[in-house]
Amino acid sequence: MWHKWSDTALYGRQGARRTGTGILVVAGRWPTGPITESLKLGLEASTSATGLYIRGLPSIFGLDSTSSSARPPRYQPLHPRCRLLVQEMQIFPLVPSLIALICASGTLAAPPYSRQAPPLPEDDCCRFDSSKAPACWGKYNLSTDYYDDGPSTGVIREYWFDVVNSTMAPDGVNRTVLSINGTVPGPTIIADWGDTIVVHVRNLLQDNGTSIHFHGIRQNYTTEMDGVASVTQCPTPPGDSMTYTFKATQYGTSWYHSHFQLQAWNGVFGGIVINGPASAPYDEDLGTLILNDWFHETADQLYARASTRGPPVAMNGLLNGTNVFGDRGKRFETEFEPGRRYRIRVVNGAMDTMFRFMIDGHNMTVIATDLVPIVPYTTGNVNVGIGQRYDVIVTADAPADTYWLRAVPSTTCGSRHADLMNIKGIVRYRGAPSSAESSPTTAMLPYEDSCADEPAASLVPVVPLDVGEASRQDAFAVGLQVVDGWFKWTLNKNTFLSDWNYPSLLQAISDNQNWKPNQQVVNLEGVNQWVYFVIENTGFDHPIHLHGHDVHVLSQARGSHSQNTTLQLKNPPRRDVVMLPAHGHLVLAFKTDNPGVWLMHCHIGWHTGQGFALQLVERAADIPYNKSVLSDSCMTWNSYATSFNILQDDSGI
């Protein structure tokens, strides 16, 4: 909920006033810890031409306010200098003194989430403008190779997350939900390219450990912040907390989610927006749109069924945490103004569903895939695999009316849904006739039901990178076994198993190289060398996700890989989730430029729990770490697990 404080409320309190340059000056004592408390809720302060906005509870500041569920008009996030002051206010106790918030001037604000870089000398930088100069970003721009270079803003973006048990009804049907700060999705993490992100996660669950993984974030030299239980950390036990700190070396769209058991698909997830340059202009950023399949039982209740009889039927799907079921619930809605261009950051956060995303009567321009900006292309829809993201720009150029926004499950991927056509929201045009206030009557655009990624020829990275000759090539064959009546996925006939109580990172930095076969470890010791992975598949499509790296997709096709397979080495598609075709193969390449322990796994939730994974131990001698922090957190978990007789019942991830 957004809350707007009127100028009267602001300026009438303890000598607050607005100067001619847009500086808000507040004299006197604030209520105890106002900024700190707002940040604990994962909130954002901003200025606009019409006032000061704080996203959160109005009682925090003790000011009169009005409320709205919509974003403030032409929202502009807090200026970096304001954010630096916010950080200082958390360190030093507040005393009766003069507090100056130096914020953005009264000029037109940037589109939502589209933040300007910190001011630099005019002859030394360009100024980002999403509608006119989207490629600019201070001293950097769209052509910057973000793997080797990028800004370092010195700005810290800090969030406080509580993982809690709740009873919620996202589609009108009550069920047990695990959530962050009581919402599904959780708060969106918003930062600028080059910022440092700090996320404090407190586990308030009754009887579950937890962890938070920041999907697609490379975690450059910060592998211990990757948030994977049994790989980079022990689970965080109830009542304990974990702080994750990492730098936003990339820009674009992603999401975070628990990487412990099946918590992500019980509601522990949210969006990530890292502002940066764009490959096409737009007028307004609508933020993340997270697509989910949804069950009316918990994922834990369904796991045994999925592991012995096959995937259960999804009862519904959610768009940003909402939908209808029968006559209950509420549709997701958004508003278009005729002629404007809208950026939508589409995220597939599903357990077991590939979605075809579209808006009736509209085309879309695709500008990024995962965290990789691409040469724009226009299409009527995009096929979004589990864990993948597509940034699209939609122009409001249709007649003023209401239109269905759709996320259609792909049946060719094996997705099972009670109602394939119910996962949809509403786009309402401003100025549409009153008859358009009811549900849309628009027809769906034609599309091909497919389990394939978007065509490789369309996914051309803006920053061109060619792939060198392999220093090492490994081959993996996907298999499926039944062990004591339970499905187990295998790579080279081994199913993945890692220990919650002794994560792989702790083992790697302890010089204990006695890896067990089921740990599925690939040791990589060379520096900045090209590694190729050849993955041969059986009869199911799988979304393959690698942590710590973007992968270069050299080949992706039906049929087996052979010496005659043509590899695309010149600027191939890059991303962090790639569809492995049924009865087909993938050839993926990455460079050993990020020391750490990194998981590679199928992102279908059931398959992750059933052991479809391997892990890289990359340049173990170069891994930076804080062994005491890792060891102490594992001691806390082990004490909890022993006291409550916690037994591991899945692959560990």
pLDDT number for residue 55:
34
Alpha-carbon torsion, ordered 576, 265, 448, 393, to 10 deg: -60
Q: What's the CA gap between 157 and 273, in Å, rounded? A: 12
Does 535 lie in the same domain as 398? no
pLDDT reading at 11 higher than 50: no
| Residues 374 and 450 both lie in one domain | yes
The β-bridge partners of 490 are 479
The per-residue pLDDT for range 485-499, each reduced to its tens digit, is: 999 999 999 999 999
| For residues 14-43, average pLDDT | 32
Would residue 393 count as lying in a domain?
yes
The predicted pLDDT at position 435 comes to: 63
Task: Give residue-wise pLDDT tens across range 127-145.
Answer: 999 999 999 999 999 999 9
| Residue 22 scores a pLDDT above 90 | no
On the question of a cis peptide bond just before residue 185, with omega within 30 degrees of 0, the verdict is yes
Q: Which of 108-122, 172-186, 188-202 has the lowest mean pLDDT?
A: 108-122
Residues 350 and 437 in one domain: yes
Tell me, what's the pLDDT at 124? 65
Question: For the segment 620-637, what is each residue's pLDDT rounded down to a tens digit?
Answer: 999 998 888 888 889 999
Residue 564: band (very low, low, confident or very high) from pLDDT cuts 50, 70, 90: confident
Residue 104 reports pLDDT greater than 50 = no
Domain-terminating residue out of 83, 109, 135: 109
User: Could you read off the pLDDT of 504-532 as tens digits, one per residue?
Assistant: 999 999 877 899 999 999 999 999 999 99
| Strands of 530-573, DSSP E | 530-536, 542-546, 551-558
Is position 382 within any domain? yes
The answer to which of 143-152, 370-379, 551-560, 626-635 has the lowest mean pLDDT is: 626-635
Contacts of range 30-39, beta carbons closer than 8 Å, 24 or more positions apart: 30/61, 30/94, 30/99, 31/60, 31/61, 31/62, 32/94, 33/94, 34/60, 34/61, 35/86, 35/89, 35/90, 36/89, 36/90, 39/86, 39/90, 39/158, 39/159, 39/160
Q: Which of 444, 463, 482 is the last residue of a domain?
A: 463
pLDDT at 30: 27
- The Cα 372–Cα 551 span in angstroms is 11
Q: Same domain for 428 and 558?
A: no
For 622, the 3-state DSSP assignment is helix
Boundary-marking domain end, from 463, 490, 510: 463
pLDDT for res 563: 83
244 inside domain: no
* Residues 304, 437 within the same domain: yes
Q: What is the pLDDT of residue 626?
A: 86
Report the share of the chain in percent with pLDDT over 90. Answer: 74
CB 354 within 8 A of CB 384: yes
Query: Which pLDDT score, from 0 to 100, does residue 212 have?
Result: 98
Q: For residue 500, tell me if it sits in a domain.
A: yes
User: Does pLDDT of 543 surpass 90?
Assistant: yes
User: Against a cut of 0.85, is the pTM above it?
Assistant: no
Residues 453 and 503 in one domain: no
Tell me: the pLDDT tens digits for 226-268? 999 999 999 999 999 999 999 999 999 999 999 999 999 999 9
Domain match, 595 and 537 both? yes
Name the 3-class secondary structure at 618.
Answer: strand
- Whether 611 has a pLDDT exceeding 60, the answer reads yes
The CATH code of the domain that includes 413 is: 2.60.40.420
Q: Across the chain, what does the average pLDDT equal?
A: 84
Q: How many CB atoms lie within 10 A of CB 37?
A: 17
Asked whether residue 478 falls in the same domain as residue 420, the answer is: no
pLDDT recorded at residue 246 = 98
Please tell me what DSSP assigns to residue 122. G
In which domain, by residue range, is 370 found? Answer: 278-463
Q: What is the pLDDT of residue 436?
A: 59
The answer to whether residue 420 is domain-embedded is yes
Count of domains for the chain:
3
User: Which residue shows structure tokens 């401003």?
Assistant: 430
Same domain, 454 and 533: no
Q: Is residue 225 part of a domain?
A: no
Residue 270 placed within a domain = no
Q: What is the largest CA-CA distance in the chain?
A: 76
Looking at the structure, tell me whether residues 459 and 559 fall in a common domain.
no
Tens digits of residue pLDDT in 400-438:
999 999 999 999 988 889 888 999 999 999 988 866 567
**pLDDT tens, 43-92?**
333 333 333 333 333 322 233 333 333 333 333 333 333 333 333 333 33
Task: Quick: pLDDT tens for 144-164.
Answer: 999 999 999 999 999 999 999
Determine what percent of the chain is predicted with pLDDT higher than 70: 80
pLDDT of residue 73: 33
**Residues 623 and 506 sit within 8 Å (Cβ to Cβ):** no
Same domain? 420 vs 481:
no
Q: Are residues 602 and 552 in the same domain?
A: yes
Query: Is the residue at 596 inside a domain?
Result: yes
Beta bridge partners of 531: 472, 590
Among 372, 188, 156, 158, residue whose Cα is nearest residue 277: 372
